[in-house]
A and B are shown apart, each in its own frame.
Chain A
Amino acid sequence: MNKKFPYNTSDLKPSRRDFLRLSGAGLAAAMLARYGMPPAFAQMAGDIPAELHPGSPNNPRGWTTTLPPIPDGMPVDPPVTITGSRRGPWEFAEGDDIENSPFTRLNAAVTGIHWKLAFNWTDNEAEVLQKYNLAIASNELPDFMETVPLQIYSDLLENDLLEDITDVWEEVAHPVWLKEAMGFGDGVAWQYAEVNGRKMGIPYIEQAAQNDKLLWIRQDWLDAVGMSAPTTIEELHAVMTAFVEADMGQGGAGTTLGIAANSQLNAWYCSLDPIFGAWGVIPAFWTPDENGDLRYDSIRPEIKEVLGTLRQWYAEGLLAQDFFTYAPWQNGSHIGGNLAGLMYTPAFAPDFGLPDSVANDPDARWVFGDIPVGPTGIKKKAWSNPVPETVYCFRKGFEHVDLVLKQIAWWAELLQDPKNRHHGFEGTRYFWRNEDGELDPMGGTLDLNGYDDTKHIWGPPGTNGGSRTSPFYELDLIKERRNVWANLPENERDAYMEAFLGGDALSVLWDEAIIFAVDHWEADGIKNHFVTVPTRTMELTGAALEGLEQEVFLNIIIGQDPLDRFDSFVDEWHSGGGDRITGEVNEWWHGQM
């Protein structure tokens, strides 16, 4: 991220006027002549005015963004206005807003669609439910609904308020950027969006293995205690003990943690799920048994063994005394403050925690490794489903589903194909930059106002939180730059490639971690097979049982309850609605097959 990028070298820099003069038919030839570069922008789309064109007009190395071909029949004339709901928060440069930014202006020029905001919410779970409920109650559903939560979705379905998009999809959905991209894994993308064979919305798709954990380790600590990376849970225990006994941490005597953890046993950061996985179970997951029925992992006897192990670790002081009072993000201070040298965290660790760790201790050297295997040789972890419980929907009777689908595909192609070199709108504050204001597409230190296309574009490739149309978008981009761009002779790389290739050690680590995680995604993951709206009994007592489960598990680990409390928990679970839930879950499960 610190790689300098020569865009202040004035002798190489065409002015904006040069660019405007050059743009159009003669541009490619002129650029080629001037910089001896193969044009990356041969395909200028239609009549998009230069001032709306994304890219880097002042860039010294002559690359600009290529726009995908304009979809058939677009821009529509007369233009249409479509209302939509959005998830915030977002920020815009002075004078711009969600309805009027370089993105919407370009979009209007390409598609003829003008977006109007119906309502928005931020990341609060109760708020999104409330906002949708209020919209339904006041009979003002927007045309396009972003990330509708499953409960709202089923209410809308039940009351026939959603547009069936099956036929339009067949007809106009882009073969590559929509149909193929969303067709992975035998159609798992459609587990929520398709109901009784009809498409009632568009799936939300996260990146493959996005939340799959890797074991992150301080190599310098390992060297200091003369050990190697643990491959079994037993070795993990030995390494944790050695770290703690040697007081490796930065916080003074007695403050080093064996492993960073928090109140959620299966968390998005500093999780313990691979420990449970080493015994072949994941709390709160539904997995198939030998008979092909689904069973609830939290009540299996293996859980008791894991709880016993964790209980022993806690008693030995390997977990923070108050680990269970922390939310996952608060572990950031354990990692950043260099109190812990081990954690189970997804590939994004180099983005959160590690930068602080390295800043506070320049000697810190983090590596990642495969998760250690359990006593019976099992190596498993929670499989992260790239299709979360939410759907993009259209209001019943909305006439322009086809236009929205075309728009989504166009932006997906622009953003997800690395060959298009999209990096925002330089000069308008909407581009990747680091704190010094320099181009920085690695995104590791995104400035608040830095370029983040997810906040600005309407439709799946632009949803806040990072939805794309394909779960392999990130992997493809990494492969492109490692396998193609990195092999080009340096004088053939354009500035865009250079910027992408110029990541520091942490971002290289991040790329490698993503490749590794995706490689192990299918093989090491335990899948939660229950993927639908909650059953009736779950709605009534499911949350109470979950609360009981978390309470009992944590209290066993910290020694406030005896280990045998697990057995009475299992009894309580069965009689407190668990049996009925199991019945309902299996009714759904067998109905699926």
Chain B
Amino acid sequence: MARSRRETVILYAVVITVVVILVFPLYWMFNTSLAPATQLRRFPPVFVQPEPTFAAYERIFNERPVGVWLRNSAVVAVASTALSMFVSVLAGYSISRIRARGSQAIGLFFLMSRMLPSTLIIIPLFVSFRQLQLIGDLKSLVLAHATFITPFAVWMLKGYFDTIPAELEDAAMIDGCTPLSALLRVVLPLSAPGLAATTLYGFVLSWNDFVFARTFLVANQNAWTVNVGVASLKGEYLTEWNEIMAGSLIAMLPIVLAYLFLERFLVSGLTAGSSK
């Protein structure tokens, strides 16, 4: 499609400006993470570290089991997202396709489950997990995270499934497909971007959790997720910001990786869109 040069320039200028504003604090973090300890409390702050050093990173990696934290977070995020996606794809699809009145009640059932704030269910959940001997175990987090990912995921997936014309499955089912195989063969491939976005959403909810992780995991720092670990870098009185910034940036890396992995599915649609 034709687009004037002027339009393109304006578009890119706007996008770049927005992005610079959005990204500046990230740069600031990176800049701080490179500061030598003696420069942290210097005034005025500098845009570019005159003597950048990776000492903060080295220190964190040498002194803390960052690799273990990252692995724990990844295990929990992947497992809880997978669990949630499994139940949510099935539930979301059937809510989207059931034409009887009952589907609304079921939708409401999932919706209602979000109603209670976590402050109220955290004690009962803790007591249950304690009885199941799960406290201190990553499994407790997988379950806890899946409980709050699932309602969201059901909703989001139902929304994406709604955009896929039911005629396609009807045709497949006339050809002898069961609803399950219609879902697997027809609907899921078509809703790849939606699945990717929902997976990402769930992954992120799990990755970002701090409250449940702090409650259900115990002292041994080898059992921590990266959020709990990074929070522990902040001392009570003294705060070495270069280490906190370095820790936060390290904690973000897997998210970038998860995104880059899922992005091809998001982009599969995007590419199709851009051919307009």
Scan residues 438-468 of chain A and give those whose CB is less than 8 A from a CB of chain B.
448-449, 465
**B15-23, B38-46, B145-153, B252-260: which lies at the A interface?**
B38-46
A134 touches B123 (CB 8 A): yes
Assess whether B219 is interfacial by the CB under 8 Å rule.
yes
Supposing A119-B218, A140-B130 touch, asked if A449 and B232 sit within 8 A by C-beta, the answer is no
A356 touches B38 (CB 8 A): yes
A363-384 toward B: CB 8 Å interface, digit per residue (1/0)?
0000000000000000000000
Scan residues 93-132 of chain B and give those whose CB is less than 8 A from a CB of chain A.
123, 126-127, 130
Residues of B within 8 Å of A88, CB to CB, are 219, 232
Residues of A within 8 Å of B42, CB to CB, are 333, 336-337, 356, 360
Scan residues 55-108 of chain A and give those whose CB is less than 8 A from a CB of chain B.
86, 88-89, 91, 97-98
A359 touches B38 (CB 8 A): yes
**B4-12, B157-165, B177-185, B234-242: which lies at the A interface?**
B234-242
Residue of B nearest to A447 (CB): B63
B214 touches A127 (CB 8 A): yes
A356 touches B41 (CB 8 A): yes
Supposing A86-B219, A130-B215, A339-B43 touch, asked if A122 and B123 sit within 8 A by C-beta, the answer is no
Assess whether A133 is interfacial by the CB under 8 Å rule.
yes
- Out of B44, B63, B130, B235, name the residue touching A252 (CB < 8 Å): B44
Residues of B within 8 Å of A122, CB to CB, are 231-232
A337 touches B63 (CB 8 A): no
A336 touches B219 (CB 8 A): no
Residues of A within 8 Å of B239, CB to CB, are 329
Assess whether B264 is interfacial by the CB under 8 Å rule.
no
Assess whether A537 is interfacial by the CB under 8 Å rule.
no
A356 touches B40 (CB 8 A): yes
A127 to B219, CA, bound (A): 13
A133 to B239, CA, bound (A): 28
A568 to B220, CA, bound (A): 52
Instruction: Determine how close the nearest CB of chain B comes to the CB of A353; give it in whole angstroms.
Output: 8
Assess whether B139 is interfacial by the CB under 8 Å rule.
no
B41 touches A337 (CB 8 A): yes
Residues of B within 8 Å of A127, CB to CB, are 214
A352 touches B219 (CB 8 A): no
Instruction: Determine how close the nearest CB of chain A comes to the CB of B72; give it in whole angstroms.
Output: 16
Instruction: Determine how close the nearest CB of chain B comes to the CB of A92; give it in whole angstroms.
Output: 9
Supposing A122-B232, A352-B237 touch, asked if A336 and B218 sit within 8 A by C-beta, the answer is no
Residues of B within 8 Å of A359, CB to CB, are 38
Assess whether A117 is interfacial by the CB under 8 Å rule.
yes
B232 touches A133 (CB 8 A): no
> Which of B127, B218, B235, B236 has the most CB atoms of chain A within a 10 A radius of its CB?
B236
Residues of A within 8 Å of B126, CB to CB, are 134, 137-138
A140 to B218, CA, bound (A): 14
A356 to B42, CA, bound (A): 8
Residues of B within 8 Å of A360, CB to CB, are 38, 41-42
Supposing A250-B43, A337-B41, A465-B236 touch, asked if A134 and B63 sit within 8 A by C-beta, the answer is no
Residue of A nearest to B219 (CB): A120
Assess whether A251 is interfacial by the CB under 8 Å rule.
yes
A123 touches B123 (CB 8 A): no
Residue of B nearest to A97 (CB): B220
Residues of A within 8 Å of B221, CB to CB, are 89, 91
A134 touches B238 (CB 8 A): no
B219 touches A123 (CB 8 A): no
Assess whether B64 is interfacial by the CB under 8 Å rule.
yes
Residues of B within 8 Å of A91, CB to CB, are 63-64, 221
Assess whether A268 is interfacial by the CB under 8 Å rule.
yes
Assess whether A287 is interfacial by the CB under 8 Å rule.
no
Residues of A within 8 Å of B219, CB to CB, are 86, 88, 98, 117, 119-120
Residues of B within 8 Å of A89, CB to CB, are 221, 232
Scan residues 33-69 of chain B and give those whose CB is less than 8 A from a CB of chain A.
38, 40-44, 59, 63-64
Instruction: Determine how close the nearest CB of chain A comes to the CB of B50; give it in whole angstroms.
Output: 13
> Which of A130, A251, A465 has the most CB atoms of chain B within a 10 A radius of its CB?
A130
Residues of A within 8 Å of B64, CB to CB, are 91
Instruction: Determine how close the nearest CB of chain A comes to the CB of B178; give it in whole angstroms.
Output: 46
B238 touches A251 (CB 8 A): no
A317-360 toward B: CB 8 Å interface, digit per residue (1/0)?
00000000000010011111111000000000000110010011
Residues of B within 8 Å of A119, CB to CB, are 218-219
Instruction: Determine how close the nearest CB of chain A comes to the CB of B216; give it in whole angstroms.
Output: 10
Residues of A within 8 Å of B215, CB to CB, are 130, 134
Supposing A337-B43, A356-B41 touch, asked if A120 and B218 sit within 8 A by C-beta, the answer is yes
Assess whether A550 is interfacial by the CB under 8 Å rule.
no
- Out of B123, B232, B236, B237, name the residue touching A137 (CB < 8 Å): B123
Instruction: Determine how close the nearest CB of chain A comes to the CB of B60; give it in whole angstroms.
Output: 9
- Out of B214, B218, B237, name the residue touching A329 (CB < 8 Å): B237
B41 touches A332 (CB 8 A): yes
- Out of A140, A338, A352, name the residue touching B43 (CB < 8 Å): A338
A448 touches B123 (CB 8 A): no
A332 to B40, CA, bound (A): 10
Residues of B within 8 Å of A120, CB to CB, are 218-219
Residues of A within 8 Å of B214, CB to CB, are 127
Residues of A within 8 Å of B127, CB to CB, are 137-138
A498 to B168, CA, bound (A): 85
A89 to B218, CA, bound (A): 11
Residues of A within 8 Å of B59, CB to CB, are 448
B196-224 toward A: CB 8 Å interface, digit per residue (1/0)?
00000000000000000011001111000
Supposing A120-B219, A255-B43, A465-B236 touch, asked if A138 and B63 sit within 8 A by C-beta, the answer is no
A333 to B32, CA, bound (A): 14
- Out of A133, A134, A251, A353, name the residue touching B44 (CB < 8 Å): A251
7 tightest A-B contacts by CB?
A337-B43, A336-B41, A120-B219, A123-B236, A89-B232, A333-B41, A356-B41
Known: A329-B238, A333-B43. 5 other contacts (CB 8 A): A120-B219, A133-B123, A140-B130, A360-B42, A465-B236
Which A residues are within 8 Å of any B CB, using their own CB? 86, 88-89, 91, 97-98, 117, 119-120, 122-123, 127, 130, 133-134, 137-138, 140, 250-252, 255, 268-269, 329, 332-339, 352-353, 356, 359-360, 448-449, 465
A-B contact pairs, 25 of them (CB 8 A): A89-B221, A91-B63, A91-B221, A97-B220, A98-B219, A117-B218, A122-B232, A130-B215, A133-B123, A137-B126, A138-B127, A138-B130, A250-B43, A251-B44, A329-B237, A329-B239, A332-B41, A333-B42, A339-B43, A356-B41, A356-B42, A359-B38, A360-B41, A448-B63, A449-B63
